[in-house]
Amino acid sequence: MTPAYESSHAPETAMGVHRHAEGYAALVLNGGYEELTAEGRFACGPGTLVIHPDWHAHGDAFGSGGATVLNLPARLSDGFRVLRLSDPAAFERLARQRPREAVRAAMEEADCTPPIAPALWLVRLTALLAEREEVAVEVLARACGVSPEHAARRCKAWFGLGPVQLRKEKRLQTAIRLLRDGANPAQAAATAGFSDQPHLTRLLKRATGLTPARMRAV
């Protein structure tokens, strides 16, 4: 297991959307940043604990003061969360010695932080992307009162992913969760909204390098 380590990030810098094969938790020690995910955009300041499951896609936009983050090994299957700790100093002391225990306790006790609220049309667009998977993004954008080009730019700026990529990422995250919970590839593909199993296989292998069968086994 990778030991806990600190990372420092320069002011006004950004990390594009990326993934880690092994899940981990990140405690913001000082400074701050905004976390860009398919679940939304989250403000992360000192005392915030961000929990990433395996292969979770996310990007980071660091603020004017940069950030120092304590990264903790914590392969948990509970899904992505942003938590506000009531006693960050006590958590840090325990986390440096027993990180998994500290993260598990925080998940049981700390409150979840909601995402930053985007523009109302973007809220509607993301809902439609999930509800009307068969409808083209261009049609959904116009239904929300914006041009497809504007929707693509603002969606990319807010989530780190354009509308098409956002729709695919939500399907992919659902499929990964199902596979890790023991579903067979055909079941995972159908439940997550893929047209067929080969479609899931192509997208999953492109994103993670793993086939559905391998993802289910690891």
Q: Where are the domains of the chain?
A: 5-112, 120-217
Token pair, residue 200, equals 């899931």
E strand or H helix at 41 = strand 40-44
Per-residue model confidence as pLDDT tens for the chain (218 residues): 567 899 999 999 999 999 999 999 999 999 999 999 999 999 999 999 999 999 999 999 999 999 999 999 887 666 899 999 999 999 999 999 999 999 999 999 999 999 999 999 999 999 999 888 889 999 999 999 999 999 999 999 999 999 999 999 999 999 999 998 899 999 999 999 898 899 999 999 999 999 999 998 88
Domain with residues 120-217, CATH architecture: Orthogonal Bundle (1.10)
First-to-last C-alpha distance (Å) of the chain: 15
CATH code of domain 5-112: 2.60.120.10
Exposure string for 112-148, b = 16+ CB within 10 A, e = fewer: ebebeebeebbeebbebbeeeeeeebeebbeebebee
pLDDT on residue 148: 95
Tokens 């296989």 sit on residue: 201
